Amino acid sequence: MMAKKKRSAVTCLRVKQIRSGIGFDRTQKGTLAALGLGKLGRTRVLPDNPQVRGMIAKIPHLVLVDEAGE
């Protein structure tokens, strides 16, 4: 018999675009698009994982990040 794994509470991040991608590198614009952003003021709730954290770390000057809980 296999032991059941306990589910941990999934934390999420609320990511809001606060600056435009105009004038920045093409890769930074692509990162905004990959996060589901693209217009000022747009907000997305994303899972807190290393992939999302890496994308946010690439464009901290364009976004505002808060914890969203679950």
Which tens digits make up the pLDDT trace of 5-61?
555 567 999 999 999 999 999 999 999 999 999 999 999 999 999 999 999 999 999
- DSSP class of residue 41 equals T
The model's confidence at residue 68, banded by pLDDT at 50, 70 and 90, is: confident
Two tokens at 10?
């999934």
Domains observed in the chain: 12-69 (3.30.1390.20)
> pTM of the full predicted structure?
0.81
Report the number of secondary-structure helices (H) and strands (E) in the chain. 2, 3
